[in-house]
Amino acid sequence: MIAIPLAEKIGELFLILFATAALVKTGVLKAETGKVLSKLSLWFVTPCVIFNAFQKELMPQVREGLLIAAGLAVVFEALFFLISAVLRRAWKATEVERASVMFTNVGNLIIPLVSFVKGEDWVIYTSAYILVFNVLFWTVCVRMFDTQSAPSLKKVVLNPNILAIAAGLITLFTGLKLPEPLTLAFSDVAGMIGPLSMMITGTVIGGMTLRGMFANRRVFGVLFFRMVLSSGLAVAAAALAVKLVPLDRDLVLIPLLGALAPSASNINQLAILYNKDAPYASAINVLTTLSCIAAIPLWVMAFEALAG
């Protein structure tokens, strides 16, 4: 059931990617356009995605579900962090490689997938993983890439994405409602994230040859660590939680889908901004995204078998 909507969504996004790459190849766009689009995505569209995810009514059962989903997201990210730390020493993994293992495309693919498979009422639980993801991404991940600047608490706190998290939590827990024009504006901008992410990757791919895209054979190692090793540990942890706590299997499946997702497209954008081998980051994103067509349904089947 999950494989069909996932394949459809990935196919839709990849059409946008290839169309943008074709525009670069034909000279209509320049590869440098990706840097401008990356800034637009990271500092404007992504904050709108974060804020929009919290625009829900907080019922008691929803509050409990959010806490469970957030707790599981922390567990998954802790596992991925440990794998990344081991890879740094044992495999001499670069910033791009470690970030690609740690951070998944939880928003761009998982939100539409959950909406299609489970319905709109379940989408709110993805916001728990989005919260955990963005707190870690805009602190830990940005620090991995921005090694030249001194650590700055002010810089972290005033990051538009962190501010969006704080504003979203305030509206969620207070029940504060924004005027309808503002709500619609946030929602419309948030809807741009999937296509815009593919356009950014497309500008990078357009400046590469197919051979050059996979010239670095380590990309297949990252594919294994992200889609096999990390996903396998996440499935085992999720099944254990259902068995021992116990937790509702359908609820556990929502953050698990976030953990099974391909590498985050935001990594491409940071790589562009900080000059950290954006073509390699794009190759990782493309390959892990393609592989998830088969990987996610298989891992979900494994989770269902283990959870009983």
pLDDT of residue 1: 57
- Residue 10 predicted with pLDDT over 60: yes
Using CA atoms, how far apart are residues 141 and 134, in angstroms rounded to an integer?
A: 9
- Give one DSSP letter per residue of 106-137, joined into a string: IIIIIHHHHHHHT-GGGGGGHHHHHHHHHHHI
pLDDT band at 149 (very low <50, low <70, confident <90, very high): confident
Domains of the chain (ranges plus CATH)? 3-307 (1.20.1530.20)
Answer whether residue 13 shows pLDDT above 90: no
Model pLDDT, residue 95: 95
Written as one letter, the residue type at 194 is: G
**pLDDT, position 254:** 94
Reduced 3-state DSSP string for 72-93: HHHHHHHHHHHHHHHHHHHCCC
Q: pLDDT by residue (tens digit) across 163-181?
A: 998 899 899 889 998 999 9
Both tokens of 169, joined, read 């939590």
Residues 22-58: pLDDT tens digits?
Answer: 999 999 999 889 889 988 988 999 899 889 888 888 8
pLDDT at 151: 66
What's the rounded mean pLDDT across residues 100-128?
A: 82
> Residues 233-250: what's their mean pLDDT?
94
This prediction's pTM: 0.88
